[in-house]
Every structure is written in C-alpha cells, then in structure tokens.
A and B are shown apart, each in its own frame.
Chain A
Amino acid sequence: MLFNSFSFGIFFASVVLLYFNLPQKGRVLLLLVSSCLFYMVFVPAYILILLLTILVDYYAGIKLVETTGATRRFYLIGSIIATCAILFVFKYFNFFAQTVSSLGGWAGFPISDFTLRIVLPIGLSFHTFQSLSYVIEVYRGHQRAERDFLTYATYVMFFPQLVAGPIERPQNLLEQFRTYHGVDVARMADGFRRMAWGFFKKLVVADRLAIYVNDVYASPQEHNGLQLTLATVFFAYQIYCDFSGYTDIALGMAKVMGFKLMENFDTPYYSASIGEFWRRWHISLSTWFRDYVYFPLGGSRGGIPKTCRNLMITFALSGLWHGANWTYVCWGLLNGFYLIGGVLLAPLRQRCCELTGVSRRPWIRRGIGIAITILLTLFAWVFFRAKTLQDAIYIVTHFHLNWDFREIRTEHFLMRQMPAAILGIFVLELVQLASKKYPLPQLVLRLPQPLRWAFYIGVVLAVTLLGVFKETEFIYFQF
C-alpha cells in the first residue's frame, strides 16, 4: 500500500479515527494490527519473516539483561547473526552466488550459477537495522529491554516508518508507545502540513522527474549528452524529493497520532563538503553506520591510514546496504574516496583559501564548497542509478558529447511536462531557502482562519492537480 494511493488514504483515516477513540493499551494493539495489515498488502507471507526477526531480537533483548559475560555476548552475536542471515538470504544471496560464479569463471574454475527465486521483502533493510539497533543499545546498557512483546513488535513494525525509515533508535521511539496522546488540533495540523509538503515533493517533483530519468537511464546509449546530463540532475532531485518526501509523510503521519520520529534530511544539497552532506542526508542511516560500524572499527582514532580504512569499509557497507549490485558498492566506495580526499586535502584546501583570500570571505568559500559538493554528488549518483557499471561508465564519459537542444524530450516525457518539472524544482528551492530565513509555518499560522484554510485547500488542490499519480514506488522501498 503506497502512501500516495487512494486505499492508503482510507486506511490512514480509519486508523486515526480508531486510535483516538481507544484506551492506551488498545492503541498499541491497533497500531500493531494496522501495521501488520499495511505490510501484508505487499506480500502477505513475508509477515512471517518480520515476525521471526521480532521474536529473535525480543528474546535476545531480554536475555541480554538477564545474563553476563560470554553468555551475554553470545546472545548479542547470535541475534546479530540471525538477523543479518535473514537479510543475506533475501537480499544478497543471489548477488553473492553470481559474484562467486563470475570470479570462478575468470579464475578458470567454472562454478554453476545457483540462485534463489525469491522476492526481496519490502523494507527489509530498514527494519533489520532498526532491530539491530535495539539489541546493540540494550547490550551497551543505553536501553532497557522491552518485556512487553506487543510494544516491542509495534516498535519494529510501526507502519509510518516500517518500509523506508527513518531507522529509529529505541530510546526515541519505544517509550512513546507508553505515552497517551490526546487530540491536539495544532499538533495534528502540523502533522498534516508536513504530509502535504511530503506529497508535494513526491508527487509533483519526484514522480514527474522519474519519467525522464527512467527513459534515459533505461537506455543511455540512445540519448545525447544533454539528456544524460539533465537526467542526472533530475535524478538528484528525484531521489531527494522521493526519499525526503516519504520521510515528511512518515513524520507527518506519526505526528498526527502524537509520535515524534527523528529527522532524516536537512537540505543536504546545501552542504559545503561531503562530510557535511553525510550529516544531512539519510541521517538515520548515516548515524547508524557511524555508531555501529565506524566507531567500533576505531573511527578516526589510530591515525590517517586507519581512518581511511574505516571510512572505506563503512561506505562500502553503506553502498551494499542500498542494493545487491556492484553499482551501489561503487557509489559507496566513491563517497568513501571523497571523504578520504577531504581529510587528506584539508591542509591544501586551507592553504589555497588563504592564498586566494577566499578564507576572508566565508560566503564565497561556502559557495565554492557547495558547488563542488554538488558536482561530486552528481557524479556519484550516476553509479547509484545506472543499471550496470557499463552503463554508468558510458554516462560519465558521454555527458559532454552531442548536446542537441532540439532533442531534449524523451519517449514518455513530453515537453509539456518540462514547465511543471521546472516549476516544481523552483518551488522546492524557494520554500527551502525561505524557510532558512523565515519561520514559514508561523507566518501561515498568523493568517486569519478563513485565509489559512483557503491556503491549505489551495495547496492540496495544487498538489492533487499537478502531481503524477501513475503508481511509482518510493525509490527506497527497494532497499
């Protein structure tokens, strides 16, 4: 059930109405049942996989507080292995088998290509990491074990963030299921406003740009350099609006019901360095890798070589988390290289800024930083989006060739879509920039109620009429 579907609208309205008319205990059960229903719409049988993950980590969490020493470590490692094994089988087995087969063939030892015919359960990577986060935090003593199975299961399965995050920490979310949330119009209005903004990003911007991107990236060899360039820029906006739009909808829905989820994006394309970009993009995932992979490896302690090693391992895993394809691994490694380059070249960068006088003008320095970061990110997105490494290499080597402004449209993206696409991007940037300077929601709240309501109705009508509703999944559902 996609957020941008009619059936989800009915589902959410029903859940909200029931939620606020039930006592607290009933509410947790309602959220659990509705989350199960939400998940089962995709592939019903896969609820069993989710249930297995929940049971393993619920049991492990309790055992972690009841045991000590080696037994305690056993439960931690066992839980991690069991949870990751499920992820490996469904997401990485075929990739691993094909890689081994290819390597064997290359080395002169033919190995038959055995693959499993299974569909990746939706959101597997997200709820797996959320479960792992719980177990690790309990082990570290930062979170008490949840003994109420219903509450724990709801924590893992909470439908607003079940299939594409944010990857919540138990300290933030678990206790909220014990808090009674009353009907608060101001809070609910805030939630609905957040949802409306998310739907704008997803329907008006992301899904429109997806038409162009899908045409070009499906067959890059049949498109000219201008189309390849435009498709890559469009993809940067598409993935941002798709994912952050989903996050806005998820956070908004949760807020309507009284829950506060963590922020996952902070206008990442305004970052002046790759390091800053990764503190503002998919924050819940990057902090997860920081806290559970990078820091345990040693982080930036141990000198530059170890820092570089730890960055590369972390980003290779991050790339692999996104998908079982070498393009994702390359994308992750590229970002790792960028960060290493940032670390190694920091003194040189500082020297250049001093020599050119840029260091005395921070806004110029920041502007240059933003421009370079955007270019590096765009380059990396090519690998993220391309179907194969060959396609990615073709695209990056043909950006500059055969620019033909008469051949800008694609098979499905007619030129009448272009004004709407540009307008969507313009409104997105305008609102984001304006919100840095002005408290936009407060400005709207100062309007008299009739005007305020007319504004809201106008926004909903505009999103409805300008949105692209041909069903396209959220990009991050596939992870």
Chain B
Amino acid sequence: MNHTHTPMEPDRSQREGNSIMPEALTGAEPLSQARSWGRLFWFFALLIGAFFLADAGLLWSVRRIGTSEMGVLNRVLTGKVNTDIVISGSSRALVHYDPREITRGTGLSAYNIGRNGSRTDTQVAILKGYLRKNTKPRLVIHNVDMHSLAASQEIYDSGAYVPYLHLPEIYDMVRTINHDAWKSKWLPLYGLAVEDMSFLWVKGLVNLALRPSKDELIQGYHPRHLEWTGDFARYLASNPDGIVPETDDRGPVYFEELMQVCANAGVPLILVYSPEYRELQQHVKGRRELMARYQGVADRHGVPFWDFSGSPLCERKELFYNGSHLNANGSGLFSQELTQRLVAHLGKTWNSPSPGP
C-alpha cells in the first residue's frame, strides 16, 4: 500500500478510468428525448427479432442432426424410424441391445431408442412420442433398471428436448421435472442458452455445413468398446453400506403408465432386466424384493418380465466396463441370448390363435 497517496486522492486508475470502456463519443448534437427513446426502441426490437430468427434457425439445424443420440431422437420424433421392434430404456438399453442381432435372429427390423441418463418418466415420454409419430411397432422391449421405480430429479442432456417442446408428451415430461420449461418453449434462445450444455447448436451448424455421416450409433445402439474402468470401485467406495435402489411416489406411476401406453396402443411389451455384473448384484440391498415388485407389476398387466440377472454373462468381468454396463463384446453376446429367447417367445405367441403375449 503506497502511503504517498493522500486519503482522498484518487488512484491513477480512477483518474484515467478503466481504459477498456472510456466515455462515449458525444461530438454530435444530443438527440431529443423522443428520438432517443425511438432509437433505443428500434435497437431492442431488432435485437428481439434477431433472437427469434436465431432461435428458429438453430433449432431447425439441431433437428437435422443425423448422428449421435440427438440424431436418434430426431428420427424418433419426426417419424423416420418405423420399425417392427422398438428397444427402449436408459443407457443400459442404449449399450446392451444390438438391433442387428435381433434382426438377424427374428427377421424383423429393430431400432434402439434407449437414452443415456434417463429414467422411466423420460423413457415413457419418448415412447409416446415414438408411437405418435411412427407406424405402430409389432413389439416393444423395455429395459428395466435398479432405479426404474424412481422419477427424474433433473433431465440429463436437457438441451436435446428443446427442439421438441411443441410436442405435448415431451413438454409435459420436461415441465413436470423442470418448472421453468415454459421459458424454454416460449422465450427465444432460452432453451439453447440455459439447458444446452452440449453445444448442440454448434453441432447443428456443423452438421449443415459438413453433413457428417460417420456415426458411433448403429440403429440407435451404442457399442462401447471399453475395458473395465475404475468407475465401479469408486461407485462401491461411495456406497460403503451397500446400494439402495431409488424409489419414490412418482416412479411406480410412470412404470404403470408404460404398460398402459403399450396396451392402449395395442403393442405387445416385454420387460427385460439385462445383465449386471455379479459383484454389483451382491451389493444391492433388497434386490430380490425389487425383482419381485417388477414381476408383480408385469403379471398384473400380463406382460412378460425376463430377468437376465442369472445369466452366465454376469460372472464375466471382461464383458463389462463397469458394474452395470456391458461392453461391445458383452452386449453382442447378450443380444444373441436375448434373440434366442425372443425367437422362442415370438414363435409361441405369434403363432397362437390370438397374437401377442
């Protein structure tokens, strides 16, 4: 601290001001009050107009993304899938179910609409959107998880839904979780600015310019070519007393709604609990009761529930990259195992006098 300044002598910086923003040039005659307000009005009117234009343009470009999970969502919600077998669920659906394997075994087209980080409420909304926009599938396979009886606290990758807030099923889902969703729907650029942390708008613009065709996802399925990571050890360390499956009041309601949606649409549904690594299963508290609960709901709605927790795949660590996700090798083997069961089931059910389970 320099004592050469007297207490009220301004420092150099105060005398000169922050040079980044010196006083404006005011050489011209000052405008009248009315003209001043007029100029301000027209500037902000143009600014708001630019916001609306940018919003429309960027959302249009995002809807044209053809790759990655955004590409899948775009195809689902614009009626470009139209497949026989739909696979829905969370990230475990996304990485476990290879539609090519299912098609090879059943002769039916298949498409995976699983979404990373989603819970049952989001999955049901997407399925509703699919059923409204695409031709009716012959079967829906829904992957069930440890937390399928819990609703979302927040939306993972919320920016992806911004271009589709005009669809009632998507808007209702988003608004239930995020009460500010009306802002994303009605205020230009709000959704892209606030909700989109993935720079989807950049991806949309790049997509328009370069039209990339290379996609990691195959018919919506994302094969993960990974070896075992440290995620599971960290997950166990953060849950030293065991893992308690999340449930709440709303989760079971959405789970029931899933059955209802398929029943109302006249689409057969199969619930599948895909493989989890054995060590993870052993750390889950109340697992047996949870499976019993799923079975109970399935029985009440006359829906098959296939639990692959006892599959030999669950013993093989090299087929997983963490406790709950199969890698590409593991998902290939699981898809084959599922397809065999599916062929047998379809043979029994679709050859019977009344098709469907």
Q: Which residues of A contact B (CB under 8 A)?
A: 6, 142, 169, 171, 182-190, 193-194, 197, 248, 262-263, 265-266, 275, 278-280, 283, 286-287, 289-291, 294-295, 299-301, 311, 314, 339, 416-417, 420, 431-432, 435-436, 439-442, 445, 453, 456-457, 460-461, 464-465, 467-470
Contact A185-B25, Cβ < 8 Å, known A263-B17, A283-B11, A290-B1: no
Q: Is the CB of B24 within 8 A of A194?
A: no
B208 CB within 8 Å of chain A = no
Name which residue of chain B comes closest to A471, CB basis.
B194
Q: List 13 A-B contacts (CB under 8 A).
A: A185-B36, A186-B30, A190-B24, A279-B11, A283-B11, A294-B3, A300-B1, A435-B19, A456-B43, A457-B50, A461-B50, A465-B192, A470-B194
Contact A185-B40, Cβ < 8 Å, known A300-B3, A457-B46, A465-B201: yes
Q: Which of B162-192 contact A (CB under 8 A)?
A: 183, 187, 189-190, 192
B23 CB within 8 Å of chain A = yes
Inside 8 A of A294's CB, which chain B residues have their CB? Answer: 1, 3
Inside 8 A of A339's CB, which chain B residues have their CB? Answer: 1
Q: Is the CB of A464 within 8 A of B193?
A: yes
B282 CB within 8 Å of chain A = no
Q: How far is the CA of A432 from the CA of B20 in the complex (A)?
A: 7
Name which residue of chain A comes closest to B18, CB basis.
A263
B37 CB within 8 Å of chain A = yes
Name which residue of chain A comes closest to B183, CB basis.
A6
Find A184's partner among B7, B11, B36, B199 (CB 8 Å cutoff).
B36
Inside 8 A of B26's CB, which chain A residues have their CB? Answer: 184, 186-187
B349 CB within 8 Å of chain A = no
B108 CB within 8 Å of chain A = no
B351 CB within 8 Å of chain A = no
Q: How far is the CA of A265 from the CA of B187 in the complex (A)?
A: 34
Chain B positions 3 through 24: 1 when the CB is less than 8 Å from some CB of chain A, otherwise 0: 1010110011110011111111
The 7 A-B pairs of least Cβ separation, nearest first, read: A266-B13, A190-B24, A469-B194, A435-B20, A300-B3, A299-B3, A186-B24
B51 CB within 8 Å of chain A = yes
Inside 8 A of A182's CB, which chain B residues have their CB? Answer: 33
B210 CB within 8 Å of chain A = no
B247 CB within 8 Å of chain A = no
Contact A311-B1, Cβ < 8 Å, known A183-B33, A464-B189: yes
Inside 8 A of A183's CB, which chain B residues have their CB? Answer: 33, 36-37
Inside 8 A of A314's CB, which chain B residues have their CB? Answer: 1
Q: Is the CB of A440 within 8 A of B20?
A: yes
Find B193's partner among A169, A435, A467 (CB 8 Å cutoff).
A467
Report whether over half of chain A's contact residues are helix, strand or loop; otherwise say mixed.
helix
Cβ distance A269 to chain B, nearest Cβ, rounded Å: 14
Q: Which residues of B contact A (CB under 8 A)?
A: 1-3, 5, 7-8, 11-14, 17-26, 30-31, 33, 36-37, 39-40, 43, 46-47, 50-51, 54, 58, 183, 187, 189-190, 192-194, 197-199, 201
Q: How far is the CA of A287 from the CA of B39 in the complex (A)?
A: 40
Q: Is the CB of B8 within 8 A of A460?
A: no
Inside 8 A of A468's CB, which chain B residues have their CB? Answer: 197
Inside 8 A of B189's CB, which chain A residues have their CB? Answer: 461, 464-465
Q: Is the CB of A436 within 8 A of B19?
A: yes
Q: Is the CB of B194 within 8 A of A279?
A: no
Contact A189-B1, Cβ < 8 Å, known A6-B187, A263-B18, A467-B193: no
Q: Is the CB of A441 within 8 A of B21?
A: yes
Contact A469-B24, Cβ < 8 Å, known A263-B17, A453-B43: no
Cβ distance A215 to chain B, nearest Cβ, rounded Å: 14
Q: How far is the CA of A461 from the CA of B12 in the complex (A)?
A: 35
Q: How far is the CA of A182 from the CA of B36 in the complex (A)?
A: 10
Find A197's partner among B21, B58, B194 (CB 8 Å cutoff).
B21
Inside 8 A of A190's CB, which chain B residues have their CB? Answer: 21, 23-24
Q: Is the CB of B22 within 8 A of A441?
A: yes
Q: Is the CB of B21 within 8 A of A6?
A: no
Contact A445-B25, Cβ < 8 Å, known A184-B30, A453-B43, A469-B194: yes
Residue with the highest number of chain B CB atoms closer than 10 Å, among A182, A186, A188, A299: A186
Cβ distance B203 to chain A, nearest Cβ, rounded Å: 10
